[in-house]
């Protein structure tokens, strides 16, 4: 355990990773995902993990191959995602699901985002109109509010968040580049332990405060990405 938030080893940031925890993984493509932390996670020997991610189909499925590598090692028991694998392509996630080795919980992107936001804000859930008339409303509370029907979505919190950011100072204040901003901020807030893999670590006071998106209070550990 480091006396500060800054770590020198990717593996060291995962010292308390354990079985049966929920792990949020930020990014929507291989460039915006914390690939170094995910690779280090493979060596933790943790089992029955629940992974929450929202990769896209760009880059010929490269982002999904990062997730596949964890499933292939038998580390994952459940996946929560808007699109857990690319339809029509080889996928370890799909193979494991079809064989009954893992459970898949498909969550539309907007609903997943709001559930994480609710979890991070410490509120007891949110009423949304998104899933009305679809299978995603099944077994959920519905309520009429000012003449319009809404579906209740529970908050989603996690034990760990592995996120990718562009820069961090020594207190864990983060800036992002491109797609990294999509999921990183909300996942940082919704997790008990947030670990940020960053391209650059600077001293306190060197970041422009107007560019800080995630405040250091939500970040527990910072490590520089390996080149």
- In the numeric block, the tokens 């109109």 are attached to 129
Q: Going by CATH, does the domain composed of 6-224 fall within 3.40.190.100?
A: no
Residue 9 pLDDT greater than 80, yes or no: yes
pLDDT of residue 2: 66
pLDDT of residue 180: 84
Longest CA pairwise span in the chain (Å): 55
The torsion angles phi and psi of 104, rounded to 5 degrees, stand at: -115, 130
pLDDT tens-digit readout, 163-208: 999 999 999 999 999 888 999 999 999 999 999 999 999 999 999 9
pLDDT of residue 87: 82
Q: Report the alpha-carbon angle 112-92-153, nearest 5.
A: 15
Percent of the residues in the chain that have a pLDDT greater than 70, as a whole number:
96
pLDDT of residue 29: 81
pLDDT tens-digit readout, 35-93: 999 999 999 999 999 999 997 655 455 668 888 999 999 999 999 999 999 888 889 99
């Amino acid at each position: 355990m480091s006396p500060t938030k800054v770590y020198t080893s990717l593996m060291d940031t995962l010292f308390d990773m354990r079985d049966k925890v929920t792990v949020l993984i930020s990014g929507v493509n291989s460039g915006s995902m914390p690939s170094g932390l995910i690779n280090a996670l493979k060596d933790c020997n943790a089992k029955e993990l629940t992974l929450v991610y929202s990769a896209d189909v760009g880059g010929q499925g490269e982002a999904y191959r990062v997730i596949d590598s964890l499933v292939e090692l038998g580390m994952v028991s459940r996946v929560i995602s808007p699109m857990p694998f690319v339809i029509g392509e080889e996928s370890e996630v799909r193979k494991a699901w079809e064989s009954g080795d893992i459970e898949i919980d498909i969550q539309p992107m907007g609903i997943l985002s709001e559930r994480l936001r609710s979890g991070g804000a410490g509120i007891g859930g949110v009423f949304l109109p998104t899933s009305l008339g679809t299978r995603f409303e099944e077994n959920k509370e519905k309520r009429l509010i000012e003449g319009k029907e809404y579906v209740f979505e529970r908050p989603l919190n996690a034990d760990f968040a592995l996120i990718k950011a562009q820069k961090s100072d020594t207190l864990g204040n983060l800036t992002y580049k491109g797609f990294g901003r999509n999921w990183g901020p909300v996942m940082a807030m919704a997790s008990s332990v947030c670990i940020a893999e960053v391209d650059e670590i600077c001293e306190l006071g060197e970041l422009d405060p107007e560019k800080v998106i995630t405040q250091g209070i939500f970040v527990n550990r910072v490590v520089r990405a390996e080149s």
